[in-house]
Amino acid sequence: MMTRAFFVIGPAGSGKSRVAKELAKRVGGLYLDKDVVCNGFTGMLLESRGYDASERDGNDYYRDDLMPMEYRTLLGIGADNLALGTPVIFDAPFGAYFADDAFVENVRAEFSWPEDAEPVVVHVKVDGETVRTRLIARGLSRDAWKLEHWDEFWAKASGATCAWVGAKHVTVDNNADTESGESVADEVLAQLG
């Protein structure tokens, strides 16, 4: 019996969390949100170096030292649960790793995923105006840089392409402003068959 590992990806404000949470409900999986798992520690480490706790965009210390640790932590927890036969839903941007076509294959080997683990990349697509509206509405300090540098942020976010090999890819539109990701989660599962 295969155990799926869902990588739910998309820019900030795309609705990744709603979709990922609904997928976790549908498949009885472990929901892993990088922000929940790591933000407390990351914020303290940033402050210990004199940065604001939410200062990530454009911060070399975060990009080079902390972000890799965040992802390793997330992937390690996920691997332990895959080994137990529990589906895992990763809710994180993963954008820094899109250029590495072998990312999923490397993660699978490095974290000793079980042979029956099936990686699925869920591309959550949304238009720029919807993202901007959602970022403003949620009012998080970590989104301030994105909004202040909107053109730069959106050019990078909307141009990001993930073509990881060794995984199934599903693309869903999440422009509808719904309170849950139910219909989008249903669409993901329908595309997988």
Question: pLDDT tens digits, residue range 65-84?
Answer: 999 999 999 999 999 999 99
Once rounded to an integer, what is the mean pLDDT over residues 82-107?
A: 96
Alpha carbons 44 and 40: distance in angstroms, whole number: 6
Torsion of CA 174, 8, 39, 97, to 10 degrees: -120
The CA distance from 92 to 111, in Å, is: 18
**Looking at residue 21, what is its pLDDT?**
95
Distances (CA, A) of 87 to 72, 108, 128: 18, 14, 31
- Please state, in angstroms and rounded to a whole number, the distance separating the CA atoms of residues 110 and 136: 38
Categorize the per-residue pLDDT at 6 as very low, low, confident or very high, splitting at 50, 70 and 90.
very high
Q: d(Cα 88, Cα 111) in Å, to the nearest integer? A: 14
Domain coordinates in residue numbering, the chain: 3-186
The pLDDT of 145-166, averaged and rounded, is 87
Q: Is domain 3-186 given the CATH code 3.40.50.300 in the classification?
A: yes
Tokens 């490397």, residue located: 106
How far is Cα 148 from Cα 57, in angstroms, rounded to an integer?
A: 11
pLDDT on residue 112: 97
- Beta-carbon contacts of 144 under 8 Å, excluding residues fewer than 6 positions away, are 54
Give the mean pLDDT of the chain.
Answer: 91
Per-residue CA distances from 26 to 20, 138, 172, 187, 190 (Å): 10, 26, 16, 12, 12
| Res 193: pLDDT | 84
Indicate if the pLDDT at residue 182 is higher than 80: no
Band the pLDDT of 56: cuts 50, 70, 90: confident
pLDDT for res 102:
98
Residue 178 has pLDDT above 70, yes or no: no
